Amino acid sequence: MVKSLPPRSAVNVEETWNLNDLFRTEEEYNAAIEQLESEVASFEERFKGKITDEKAILEALDGYASIMGKMVPIGTYTSLSHSVDQTNDEAQMRASKYGSIASKLGSQLSFFTSELSEVSSELLENAMTQSEEYKNYLEELIRQKPHKLHPEVEKTLAAFSSVLNAPYGLYNTTKLVDMNFDDFEVDGEKYPLSYTTFEGGWESETDTEKRRAAYDAFHAKLREYQHTTAKTYDMHLQKEKTTSDLRGYDNVFDYLLFNQEVDRSMYDRQIDLIMEHLAPHMRKYAKLLQKVHGLDEMTFSDLKISLDPNYEPKITIEESKKYIDDALAIMGDDYLNMIDRSYKERWTDFAQNAGKSTGAFCSSPYGVHPYILISWTGSMEDVFVLAHELGHAGHFYNAHQHQNIFNSRPSMYFIEAPSTMNEMLMANHLLSNSDDPKFKRWVISSIVARTYYHNFVTHLLEAAYQRKVYERIDAGGSVNANVLNGLKRGVLEEFWGDDVKINEGAELTWMRQPHYYMGLYPYTYSAGLTISTQVSKRILEEGQPAVEDWLKVLQAGGTKSPAELSKMAGVDITTEQPLLDTIAYIGELIDQLVELTEEIEAAQVN
């Protein structure tokens, strides 16, 4: 049975992350802010109006890198301490206060990129020849030149950054602080409900009556907040559209894809091919779930159930380490040492508590170590999620060792490749360990239900919906709850067809994801998994040489474009073939599930 969540103060400290590696005390944190403010003031006094030659450019870059190095841990501490308990007044006030401070510092520092942008490209190119360390940063600056505004405008925009970014904070406050769920009732018995318990338990509950009752209660509460959440989202969209126009982009898509270093065709291809070619495979999977569970009809509320819930083992946090170590051993000793440290040094927040952010993420502050947030329920899905987040951690652990603070982060398009790679390695390892049909079906269904469903269905359907939203915004329109509900329902019905009933409440799914406040992020999950699926096949076939190539990709950080990074790993994402191959592979996995189910059922009859 799913239990109600305790307050943060009641959870086991050993299941929480150790933020002392960022700052040991509040006094140390406040002193770091004072030092940062002083350094920014000195930087402004020394360089404002004086960046006129190669020597000044390189000295200013040294100073700017130092400031960024101090800003990162402060921002990370502020964000992480808030993310584990958004009901905590102290964390709320700290986040609000630092938001204002960061806006002020951003405004003071805005002269730097503005003045560099006004320097001739020839002078910037000369500076590049004198410093390999800052070559990528200066190349990117030249690429951004056409979209830079007058220095005073840039300064004003930077000063307003905390206000302009407020919709995301408002979304989280509505979702995690104001939205309190009532218990739901089945056969006279009441059960507790929250965002975390629904997404981490009730959504995949094997008892159909309880699952559907939880679904109805959860979405009834969402519906109460739909208009506030829609207005919050529309504010964010209008900000992006205005920024796109001000900076001279042809459309909001070009603006949002610019920093991803991919063109519109790669974005559209990812959505269009999956909507067309993956849908038939996933409908077959849905019908298999319906058959195995003997459901009267297959509804949207049934899509997250396990194919064989009785086979699902409960896994402790400690036990998860052996699964992950064994699966990722092929990555080498240094990678395994990082994983070992993550457990020993409490890099991960496993606890379940009220007010904690939903889902999972990895934050990788430069100069410290990664931090992972997850709410541990003890399912195999948690092991896959943890392996996924450790993929992000391993990416930046490697990149930070080989790149400076400007060069360590790759395009968002590529960001989910290292994380989903770890899920593929986990699946391949489990599959190699047994020929038992029930075990194989359990592993394959875990891959389909967790890795591919999550990245190729959940997030891709977000992306298809998001594209429709931006098309509306780009045409000068706006959105409200009714519009968003209609767009979301339309995408779900297009993908699932007549094989899945899109029951009432499914249209509110847009309210659940924070990704919509992060640009064109949702489609990148399937893009990353396309890359990692193909590279994991290479690793299976070639072994160590493919692993070495992949480690070099991780170490390259942001020094290459997504296409260049993929090419280093042996995948050509400039064509549609890797994506089509990955979709075909998902189809093969689902066919195997059907065959294994028939084999298991035949054995039970005999």
Domain with residue 557: its CATH number is 1.10.1370.20
> Do 266 and 145 fall into the same domain?
no
Are 120 and 57 a contacting pair, CB within 8 Å?
A: no
> Do 132 and 270 fall into the same domain?
no
Query: Distance (Å, rounded) from C-alpha 393 to C-alpha 422?
Result: 11
The angle subtended at Cα 450 by Cα 449 and Cα 454, nearest 5°, is: 100
> Mean pLDDT over residues 525-540, rounded?
92
Query: Distance (Å, rounded) from C-alpha 68 to C-alpha 64?
Result: 6
Most confident among 140-149, 169-178, 335-344, 425-434 (mean pLDDT): 335-344
DSSP secondary structure string, 478-516?
A: ---HHHHHHHHHHHHHHHHGGGSB--TTGGGGGGS-GGG
Candidates 15, 33, 116; CA nearest to 71 is: 33
Banded model confidence at residue 162, pLDDT cuts 50, 70, 90: confident
Asked whether the predicted pLDDT for residue 233 surpasses 90, the reply is: yes
The dihedrals phi and psi of 348, each to the nearest 5 degrees, come to -115, 135
> Do 302 and 439 fall into the same domain?
yes
Based on the structure, what is the number of domains in the chain?
2
Asked whether the predicted pLDDT for residue 49 surpasses 90, the reply is: yes
> Mean pLDDT over residues 392-405, rounded?
96
Asked whether the predicted pLDDT for residue 1 surpasses 80, the reply is: no
**148 within some domain:** yes
> Do 482 and 600 fall into the same domain?
yes
**DSSP bridge pairs for 501:** 299
Candidates 342, 338, 360; CA nearest to 351 is: 360
Banded model confidence at residue 177, pLDDT cuts 50, 70, 90: confident
Q: What is the pLDDT of residue 2?
A: 54
Q: What is the pLDDT of residue 25?
A: 96
| Percent with pLDDT over 70 in the chain | 99
Listed residues 134, 164, 194: the one ending a domain: 164
Q: pLDDT of 148-160, one tens digit each?
A: 999 899 889 988 8
Q: What is the pLDDT of residue 109?
A: 94
Q: pLDDT of 357-392, one tens digit each?
A: 888 999 999 999 999 999 998 988 899 999 999 999
Pairing of strands 371-373, 189-191: unpaired
Q: What is the pLDDT of residue 500?
A: 97
Listed residues 164, 189, 218: the one ending a domain: 164
Q: Which residue has the higher pLDDT, 603 or 317?
A: 317
- Domain that includes residue 270, residue range: 256-314+380-606
> Mean pLDDT over residues 57-77, rounded?
96
Listed residues 148, 164, 180: the one ending a domain: 164
Q: Which residues, 6 or more positions from 75, have their beta carbon under 8 angstroms from its beta carbon?
A: 98, 102
Asked whether the predicted pLDDT for residue 67 surpasses 80, the reply is: yes
Which burial class, exposed, middle or buried, applies to 376 when counting CB atoms under 10 A from its CB (0-12, 13-18, 19+)?
buried
**275 within some domain:** yes
Q: What is the pLDDT of residue 197?
A: 87
Q: pLDDT of 461-489, one tens digit each?
A: 999 999 999 999 999 999 999 999 999 99
Predicted structure pTM score: 0.87
Banded model confidence at residue 161, pLDDT cuts 50, 70, 90: confident
Q: What is the pLDDT of residue 433?
A: 82
> Do 544 and 444 fall into the same domain?
yes
Q: How many CB atoms sit inside 10 A of residue 197's CB?
A: 22
Asked whether the predicted pLDDT for residue 319 surpasses 90, the reply is: yes
Integer CA distances (angstroms), 196 to 99, 192, 202, 235, in order: 27, 11, 9, 26
Q: pLDDT of 200-229, one tens digit each?
A: 889 999 999 999 999 999 999 999 999 999
**249 within some domain:** no
The dihedrals phi and psi of 189, each to the nearest 5 degrees, come to -110, 140
Banded model confidence at residue 232, pLDDT cuts 50, 70, 90: very high
Q: pLDDT of 443-465, one tens digit each?
A: 899 889 888 998 899 999 999 99
Asked whether the predicted pLDDT for residue 325 surpasses 80, the reply is: yes
Look over the chain and give the mean of its residue pLDDT values, rounded to a whole number. Answer: 93
Q: What is the pLDDT of residue 380?
A: 81
